[in-house]
Amino acid sequence: MERYLRNMNMLSLEENESLGKYKVCVIGCGGLGGYVIEMLARLGIGTISAVDGDIFEATNLNRQLFSTVSNLGQNKALAAKLRVSKINPLVKVNSVSTNITEDNYQDILKGHDVIVDAVDDIKTRFSIQKYASELNIPLVHGAISGWYGQVSTIMPNDNTLSLIYKREESVENKSGNPSFTPALVAAVEVSEVLKTLIKRGEILRNKLLLIDTYTQSYTVVELRNN
């Protein structure tokens, strides 16, 4: 347990040991997902499924943790598996080198305790919310754009994304993404995953955390149906 010694003041021994039995599926292994997977692995989550059909490009080098000059052109989910094997071999990583679809979501998602939304388009987010609800699995949502980010935890049948987004169509991100916003939002997502797993602490259910690093303001908005 020396590896997890620094967790012990915030987690009990029993809670820390329980993390090894959980399975978390991270959909998207780029800017957000890379940091999420890294933190989950260092925390000691037993099984992580890394899902991404994309490959690394030079434009990813400014912010995507697993991207390097030497692995440009490599699948992101595979890179996640290789990275975790170097930092915590106790964690099992299922590398899924394809995008999630209506045809494969059950095979990819079933059996997980929490799903993490780390994708970059709204339409896919709504699909993931639907899949998570059908499989009765909590979903942690995160999104980034330039200086800004947001996080919410969505329990089955909450339909939270409909309260966040006016429409399901994706829109172009014209703000870009720097190195720090994905890391910050991913950290909040991982804290939501942990609280959901150990059933302790207050989660962002029916709430949206809005992060503005330009003014360093952090606002929690209550989400309610009109």
Q: How do residues 154-172 score in pLDDT, each as one tens digit?
A: 999 999 999 999 876 665 5
Please choose, from the candidates 187, 173, 170, 175, the residue with its C-alpha nearest in 3D space to the C-alpha of residue 147: 175
pLDDT score recorded for residue 175: 73
pLDDT score recorded for residue 181: 96
Confidence of residue 174 (pLDDT cuts 50, 70, 90): low
Place of tokens 């925390």: 43
User: Is residue 206 scored above 90 in pLDDT?
Assistant: yes
pLDDT score recorded for residue 224: 82
Cα(190)–Cα(167) distance, integer angstroms: 27
Q: Dihedral of CA 55/58/62/67: which sign?
A: positive
Q: Tokens for 206?
A: 């029916």
Q: Tokens for 27?
A: 């959909």
Q: How many Cβ atoms are within 10 Å of 220's Cβ, its own excluded?
A: 13
pLDDT score recorded for residue 217: 97
Average pLDDT over residues 17-21: 96
Residues 6+ apart with CB under 8 A from 24: 40, 45, 47, 48, 49, 112, 113, 114, 115, 116, 193, 197
User: Is residue 204 scored above 60 in pLDDT?
Assistant: yes
pLDDT score recorded for residue 30: 94
User: pTM (2 decimals)?
Assistant: 0.95
User: Is residue 131 scored above 70 in pLDDT?
Assistant: yes
As a whole-number percent, the residues of the chain with pLDDT over 90 amount to 89
Please choose, from the candidates 99, 98, 131, the residue with its C-alpha nearest in 3D space to the C-alpha of residue 112: 131
How high does pLDDT run on average in the chain?
Answer: 94
Paired with 96 in beta bridges are 51
pLDDT score recorded for residue 169: 61
pLDDT tens, position by position, 51-86? 999 999 999 999 999 999 999 999 999 999 999 999
Q: Tokens for 78?
A: 């595979």
User: Is residue 44 scored above 90 in pLDDT?
Assistant: yes
What is residue 57's DSSP assignment? -
At the fourth CATH level, which superfamily is domain 2-222?
NAD(P)-binding Rossmann-like Domain (3.40.50.720)
User: So where are the chain's domains?
Assistant: 2-222
